[in-house]
Amino acid sequence: MTYFPAVLLFALFASTVFGITQRETPVRMFRYGLYCFSLFVGSAIVLSWVMWLIAR
Amino acid sequence: MATEESKNAAAGSGTPTGVQTSPYEGFVYLPLIAGWLVPGAGHFVLGKWWRGALLAASVVGMFATGLAMHGEIGSEVHSILDLLGLAGGLGTGLLYIVARVAGWGAAQAQVTTADWGTRFIWVAGLLNVIAAVDAHNLRTGRKS
């Protein structure tokens, strides 16, 4: 498994648990889960580019 | 001077002391313990089938992905970080015990992906603890 699929799987599983446990209604659970997922994946992409720029 | 009861009555609260009551009967720590031992079981006990199924799928999926990446199971404790990792792994309850007895996973991380797998296993345990506490909060009425 390469790095990006691992990030996607990690973000999916973690954000599912966060969404269900941190909010009370199904709609808010879904929205919060989606928010967490986008933060996980987005921050991984941004940090990857930052590391790439530092390494140059 | 208004008493606590009169304040609650004025606020429209159904309970005299303002404490939420739970519709569930029985041992109050059952969802917490069941949820720790078997991912999702705490919510199943409370009849929250969809939540329990999604939590179980997430925790077991995270754990299985960690194993598939040859993450470490049951390694010896040499430092405080190893101890924290052991605590994280034990968070998955019976999954960790079964994996350790069956000899699943790697004894030592040999490649980079195995190191990620070890973290997946640790985080699966921590997520399961969050899910078990959520089941306890549902049981006690802190969450609906």
Query: What pLDDT sits at residue B73?
Result: 84
Domain ranges of chain A: 3-55
Query: What pLDDT sits at residue B61?
Result: 96
* Residue B144 to chain A, least CA–CA distance (Å): 6
User: Could you report the per-residue pLDDT of B10-56, keeping only the tens digit for each?
Assistant: 444 444 455 555 666 778 899 999 999 999 999 999 999 999 999 99
Contacts of B113 in chain A (CB under 8 A): 1, 6
Query: What pLDDT sits at residue B82?
Result: 80
Does residue B6 lie within any of the structural domains? no
For B75, the 3-state DSSP assignment is coil
Domain total for chain B?
1
Average confidence score pLDDT of chain A: 94
Query: What pLDDT sits at residue B21?
Result: 54
ipTM for the complex? 0.90
Does A1 sit within 8 Å of B61, measured CB to CB? no
Does B127 sit within 8 Å of A17, measured CB to CB? yes
- Boundaries of domain holding B75: 28-140
Nearest by CB: A1 against B59, B113, B127:
B113
Using alpha carbons only, give the angle B48, B139, B53 rounded to the nearest 5 degrees.
Answer: 25
Closest CA relative to residue B63, chosen from B110, B111, B102: B102
Whether this prediction's pTM lies above 0.80 is answered by yes
> Chain A residue with minimal CA distance to B132?
A21
Flag whether pLDDT at B1 surpasses 50.
no
* Residue A36 to chain B, least CA–CA distance (Å): 14
Query: What pLDDT sits at residue B108?
Result: 72
User: Could you report the per-residue pLDDT of B65-124, keeping only the tens digit for each?
Assistant: 999 998 888 767 778 878 888 888 899 999 999 998 888 877 776 777 888 899 999 999
Does residue B21 lie within any of the structural domains? no
Round to whole Å and give the CA distance between B105 and B101: 11
Percentage, residues of chain A above pLDDT 70: 100
Query: What pLDDT sits at residue A29?
Result: 95
- Given CA atoms B44, B60, A26, B35 in this order, what sign does their dihedral have? positive
